[in-house]
Amino acid sequence: MEHLKPGETQAGKTKEMTLREDGNLDMTHTDNATGEGGVFDPGSNEVGGQIMGKAEVCFRANNYFMQKLQEAGILTHWMDVNPDRPYTAIVKSGKNYGFGIEVIVRFDKRGSFAKRYPQYVQTIGEPLDTPVVEFTLKYDADGAFQKDPLINKSVLVALGILTARQHDKLERLALQVAEIIKSELDAKGMTLCDMKIEPFRDKDGNNMVGDEISPDCWRIIGEDGEEIDAISFGRMFFASEA
């Protein structure tokens, strides 16, 4: 967001980022949802429509989980809620690795993972023996050869995006985050299938978890094995607060 001037807003697929006078950002959740063919898919690169009420659910979830990560000693960009703007959190500005990367943790075989390896995936949702960590580049420009392409450690190092040590630290960070989220969801009868984090560096060069931790960044299933959408998640997870 280095190109923004104070007060200017950049609209993404599901959120809007506004630069504050103090150099931090207002991150506003919207009802926009990614997916195709009318099916909500947090792994999609296309906005498929709107889900009324999703902004509130993702806002509440992100506030909750970011604070849980901070309680566990994990740095995040989350600072506070902005009481003057609906569904908005105040977050720290950070510096991307390269033009931006995502780190995905998978506990089972579904989504793009299953599509990439159809010869090895007999059943969608089959558990993986150990969690799999994948790195992708944030790149979804029109005409791109491949949107958000997978990238391995040696290429990340060769392109100067990460050092080998930075790669390994981010891999451990993603696994740590995923285990915390998984434990929280397990306690409410939900199972984490996969999720992503977007790592940034703070002004001192420390890794911090950016973007959001919410239904916009994960797939989860219920006890019946069916995927749980954002609104259903909100009803189930925050039921005791209703």
> Can you give the pLDDT at residue 2?
64
pLDDT of residue 49: 82
Per-residue pLDDT, averaged over 53-57, amounts to 97
Helix or strand holding residue 185 (H, E)? helix 164-186
Q: How confident is the model at residue 85 (pLDDT cuts 50, 70, 90)?
A: very high
CB 201 within 8 A of CB 24: no
Work out the pLDDT band at 38, boundaries 50, 70, 90.
low
Q: With bands split at pLDDT 50, 70 and 90, how would you rate the model's confidence at 240?
A: low
Interval 189-214 mean pLDDT: 97
Residue among 28, 32, 40, 13 nearest 218 (CA): 40
Mind spelling out the 3-state secondary structure of 107-149? EEECHHHHHHCHHHCCCCCEEEEEEEEEEEECCCCCCCCCCCC
Structure confidence at residue 65 (pLDDT):
98
Highest mean pLDDT among 4-8, 11-15, 51-55, 143-147: 51-55
101-241: which CATH topology?
D-amino Acid Aminotransferase; Chain A, domain 1 (3.30.470)
Is residue 26 within 8 A of residue 17, CB to CB? The reply is: yes
Cα dihedral across residues 39, 40, 46, 48: positive or negative: positive
Q: Which CATH class is domain 9-91?
A: alpha beta
**Region 45-65: what's the mean pLDDT?**
91
Provide the token pair at 218. Answer: 């994960």
Helix (H) / strand (E) containing 207 = strand 207-210
- State the pLDDT confidence band at 4, using cuts at 50, 70 and 90: confident
The domains of the chain are located at: 9-91, 101-241
**For the chain, how many residues are written?**
242
The per-residue pLDDT for 12 is 87
Rounded CA gap, 178 and 100, in Å? Answer: 20
Question: What does the pLDDT average to over 13-18?
Answer: 94
Question: Above 90 in pLDDT, residue 35?
Answer: no
- Please give the Cα distance from 155 to 98 (Å, whole number): 12
Residue 1 pLDDT class (50, 70, 90 cuts): low
The residue-averaged pLDDT of 149-162 equals 98
